Amino acid sequence: MDFIYPLSGLIIGFIVGLTGVGGGSLMTPLLVLAFGIAPATAVGTDLLYAAVTKCGGILAHGRRNNIDWNIVGRLAAGSVPAALLTTWALHQFDVGTPGVATVIKATLGVALLLTALALIFRTKLAVWSREHHWVKEHQIAPATIAVGALLGVLVTISSVGAGAIGVAALFFLYPNLATTRIVGSDIAHAVPLTLVAGLGHASLGTVNYHLLGLLLIGSLPGIWLGSNLSSLIPERWLRGALVTMLVVVGGRLVVL
């Protein structure tokens, strides 16, 4: 049955290539709900999976000058220490116990619901922030670091949040920045965050390297294919379908 994992990676990678969102948001719940993988192992494996797959995004966006490295640095200044502290906290517990598994599932569910909200209101949030300038200039840097810290905790526990939630926060904090640079900066920040969090999970023994390899076999060509076909499918259809899936799956995880 190992062929199912590359096939799943292909499908998830295709969706990520089409929408730019959905890696951790779909892969981790798929591993937990469909394949019965322990929540901690699903999160740890998906974190390293995300770190590898998003490296290609850095290369692509970097060549187009779509990365604001100042923003990446600010986010990482908050997220990397937060990821390390969260990993240390996880070391204090037995991640294989039912109680910890329940906490991870609930956090994952909440993160998926927040991701759905971020997808729904992302554009409106950017417009509102551009019109009201709610965040003052001198507050932007510390606010970005604080957002990074929140993402560091959320991503380390659930593997979800570095994509849609991070982008929504950047739209709010940097409303005048081009969308391509916001997306590129968010992807660039996701790589060190998921790598640090993933290595933290590896130290916990919650990474399945065989599963990781099988998922990457399918996801890398899937992302390439989805990226090349993304202009052929209306974004509103894709975003609506993705939001629906996130709400259904997130709600199920919260009530389990």
For 133-178, the DSSP string reads: --S-HHHHHHHHHHHHHHHHHHHHHHS-STTHHHHHHHHHH-TTS-
Query: Of 132-141, 155-164, 222-231, 245-254, where does the model show the most confidence?
Result: 155-164
Reported pTM: 0.84
pLDDT of residue 75: 96
pLDDT-derived band at 1, boundaries 50, 70, 90:
low
Which is nearest to 102 in space by CA: 93, 91, 92, 113? Answer: 93
17 within 8 A of 224, measured Cβ to Cβ: yes
Tokens linked to 196: 């640090």
Provide the 8-state DSSP code for 230.
G
Whether the per-residue pLDDT at 145 is higher than 90: the answer is: yes
Instruction: Identify residue 237 by its one-letter amino acid code.
Output: W
Q: Indicate the residue type of 67.
A: I
pLDDT higher at 42 or 63: 42
Contact 80, 196 (CB under 8 A): yes
CA distance 241 to 229: 17
With b for 16 or more beta-carbon neighbours within 10 A and e for fewer, the 166-176 pattern comes to bbbbbbbbbbe
Cβ proximity of 8 and 212 under 8 Å:
no
221: left (phi over 0), alpha (psi -120 to 50) or beta: alpha
SS3 call for 253: helix
Position of tokens 């640079």? Answer: 181
CB 119 within 8 A of CB 238: no
Q: How far is it, in rounded angstroms, from Cα 182 to Cα 73?
A: 13
Residues 43-77, buried b or exposed e (16+ Cβ, 10 A)?
A: bbbbbbbbbbbbeebbeebeeeebbbeebbbbbbb
The Cα–Cα gap between 194 and 86 comes to 13
Count of positions (residues) in the chain: 256
Burial class (CB in 10 A: 0-12, 13-18, 19+), 111: buried
pLDDT digits (tens, 9 = 90+) for 44-94: 999 998 888 888 777 777 777 888 999 999 999 999 999 999 999 998 887
Asked whether the predicted pLDDT for residue 202 surpasses 90, the reply is: yes
Q: Is the pLDDT of residue 98 over 70?
A: yes
